[in-house]
Structure 1
Amino acid sequence: MSGVMLIMNWDVKEGKDSDYFEFIVREWATQTNRLGLRMIGLWLSIYSRDDEEPRIRAEALTDDVDTMRRILRSPEWSRMQDRLMDYVENYTQKVVYTDGDWKL
């Protein structure tokens, strides 16, 4: 399946682990799905060659760039991102096209 992928990276703020986990499970995953993002992965890196790189990576798909733009420009996405920022730092995101030839 081809489409558009949103790749997000971040670190959990010190002392926020428990609250972060509860937010991700109870709100963030559900809301991002409701907005139309199909979450395909959320990973924690326990080893990194570069301590500067964020340890969490999340990936989500949409069918086309117009859908991705609509989601990323929506007030609902902005609210969820604002809430996420209460728990994380070093956040980055990028949108890439995928031809569907990736493997989990």
Structure 2
Amino acid sequence: MTVKLLMTWDITPEHETEYFEFVVREFIPGLQRMGFEVSDAWATVYGSQPQIMVGATNSSANKVRQTLRSNDWKSLNNQLMDFVHNYRHKIVEARNGFQF
């Protein structure tokens, strides 16, 4: 069963430029190297929801859990934390359309 890793966060205001460079050059390619396919990316422009939501699919929940325990993931995630706050993630069954 295909699953989706849903990640949400807020960009730290003083790091916006560095954040965008990191996401394009490191974070998305890193996800792909770990077997994820980025399926969606959303930005909240109004309201109190997290500023950014990214969905990345994988073939099984077990593979995602294993990846989230890996040193590669921990390193990539720690780098992301330099630019964001209020990070959360969850694993859900992948469906078409918006998922939160």
How many equivalent pairs are there? 98
| Cα distance, 1:78 vs structure 2 | 0.3
How well do the aligned residues superpose, as a CA RMSD in angstroms?
1.2
**Structure 1 residue aligned with 2:76:** 80
Query: How far, CA to CA, are the matches of 2:35 and 2:58 in structure 1?
Result: 7
Aligned identity (percent) is 33
Question: Which of 62, 86, 90 is matched with 1:90 structurally?
Answer: 86
| Cα distance, 1:66 vs structure 2 | 1.9
- Counterpart of 2:14 in 1: which secondary structure? coil
| Cα distance, 1:3 vs structure 2 | 0.8
> 1:41-60 to 2 correspondence within 5 Å?
41-48=40-47, 51=48, 53-60=49-56
Residue 71 (structure 1) aligned with residue 67 (structure 2): yes
| Cα distance, 1:54 vs structure 2 | 1.2
Structure 1: which amino acid aligns with 2:69? R
**Structure 2 residue aligned with 1:31:** 30
TM-score (norm 2): 0.91
Pick the structure with greater CA Rg: 1
Structure 2: which amino acid aligns with 1:43? W
Which portions of structure 1, spanning 4 or more consecutive aligned residues, are displaced by more than 3 angstroms? none
Structure 2: which amino acid aligns with 1:103? G
TM-score (norm 1): 0.88
| Cα distance, 1:103 vs structure 2 | 2.6
| Cα distance, 1:43 vs structure 2 | 1.4
Moved more, 69-78 or 19-28: 69-78
Unaligned runs of 5+ in 2: none
**Structure 1 residue aligned with 2:97:** 103
Moved more, 89-98 or 21-30: 89-98
Residue 13 (structure 1) aligned with residue 12 (structure 2): yes
